[in-house]
A and B are shown apart, each in its own frame.
Chain A
């Protein structure tokens, strides 16, 4: 190991942060190089100086009071707002579901349910009556020579024109 390689590793060697091989090579270099050994001792002194020098004291009471005051005021806006967001989201979902259910029940041909055709069998192949299902919005008036599709479980009284 030459001086350039050793110098970049001296601090890490001092801190015990080198891999075993590296640490052994640095130690070997320090045994033979007085200049790097002196650099190493300087780093030791600097580390010792930082470690033994007290940092400024802290005004604990005043600081704590001010932090706790800020945190106390911060609590509602952070934690409760999270709860409110969750509650609002639940409300939106509930209302949306209710609206969908109402729309479904109000619809003449709700999706996903088996319709019963009241269509005479000879008209079953007419346009708009394929598969026995009436398109949405069809006029179910009794005078329209038409037909309509209702749900099996829907009371007939709810049918338009009935």
Chain B
């Protein structure tokens, strides 16, 4: 069922990309709605949640999607294609940063860094515990390298296959396998350090 849902979502995304390329005035808004949060999260993984560039780069991704929708040929899933666009935008940004640091964008519209959605079914103590646990995980997550954050996000949040990840990141399948393993090991280590730090 999950695979069927994913396939249906991919079909819908591909239709939206093609519709936008044909000039459908509503398709881009729908793509934005479906991918806004995911692209923002992916960009955060690439440049770090605290980066002032997150929103600007996420905007750049959608501008690129708008420009290049006509080049989508369906050889990969629409989601993989969209993420590859995002990865390339972030890579270009990093190259530019290395050559000449860019001027920081205006603070207008900065994304809330750690907003949370409270689970109303939890009692206050449970809620507190959950928030503390989430904070620990996010803090540990942020200590990882961009490459490790990216594969963890793609696999564990976005449920992408290794093959899709390899396509989006333009690296061999074996690299995905080892990178994901190392990412989980690094996160386990970072979490362990924080948990040990909590002990009296």
Chain B interface: which of A11-19, A101-109, A139-147, A148-156? A11-19
Verify if A137 is at the interface (C-beta below 8 Å from B): no
Given B41, B66, B188, which contacts A42 in the complex, CB threshold below 8 Å? B188
> Are B59 and A78 closer than 8 Å at their CB atoms?
no
What does DSSP make chain B's interface, helix, strand, loop or mixed? helix
> Which size class do B's interface residues fall under?
35 or more
**Is A58 in contact with B36, judged by CB distance below 8 angstroms?**
yes
What's the Cα separation between A54 and B49 when bound, in Å? Answer: 13
Residues in chain A within 8 A of chain B (CB atoms): 7-8, 10-12, 15, 17, 42-43, 45-47, 49-51, 53-60, 62-64, 66-68, 70-71, 74-75, 78
Interface status of B63 (Cβ within 8 A of chain A): yes
Whether B184 pairs with A11 at a CB distance below 8 angstroms is: yes
A residues within 8 A CB of B59?
Answer: 63, 66-67, 70
A-B contact count (CB 8 A): 115
A58 B184 Cβ-Cβ under 8 A: no
CB distance A71 to B113 under 8 Å?
no
30 contacts between A and B (CB under 8 A): A8-B177, A15-B180, A17-B161, A17-B177, A43-B184, A49-B137, A49-B187, A49-B191, A51-B157, A54-B117, A55-B157, A56-B41, A56-B44, A56-B112, A56-B114, A56-B115, A57-B115, A57-B117, A58-B112, A63-B36, A63-B59, A63-B111, A64-B32, A67-B59, A68-B29, A70-B63, A71-B28, A71-B66, A74-B66, A75-B66
Interface residue from B112, B117, B162, B184 paired with A47 (Cβ < 8 Å): B184
A45 proximity list for chain B (CB < 8 A): 188
Tell me if B181 counts as interface (CB < 8 A to partner A): yes
Q: Would you give the shortest CB distance from A57 to chain B, in whole angstroms?
A: 4
Find out whether the CB atom of B156 lies under 8 angstroms from the CB atom of A54.
Answer: no
B138 CB-CB contact with A under 8 Å: yes
CB nearest to B66 among chain A residues: A71
Query: Given the complex of chains A and B, what is the CA–CA distance between A37 and B36 in angstroms?
Result: 39
Contact A56 B113 (CB under 8 A): yes
Known contacts A50-B152, A57-B117, A67-B62; is-contact A8 B109 (Cβ 8 Å): no
> Bound state CA distance, A74 and B68, in angstroms?
12
List A contacts of B115 (CB < 8 A). 56-57
A51 touching B156, Cβ below 8 Å: yes
Chain A residues with CB under 8 Å of B109's CB are: 59, 62-63, 66
Bound-complex Cα distance A122 to B62 (A): 80
**B58 touching A17, Cβ below 8 Å:** no
**Contact at A55–B67, with CB atoms within 8 Å?**
no
Are B188 and A43 interface neighbours, CB within 8 A?
A: yes
Asked if B116 is at the interface (CB within 8 A of a chain A CB), the reply is yes
Interchain CA distance A66-B63 in the complex, whole Å: 11
Give the residue name and chain of the B residue nearest to A55 (CB). B41
38-64 of chain B: CB within 8 A of chain A: 40-41, 44, 49, 55, 58-59, 62-63
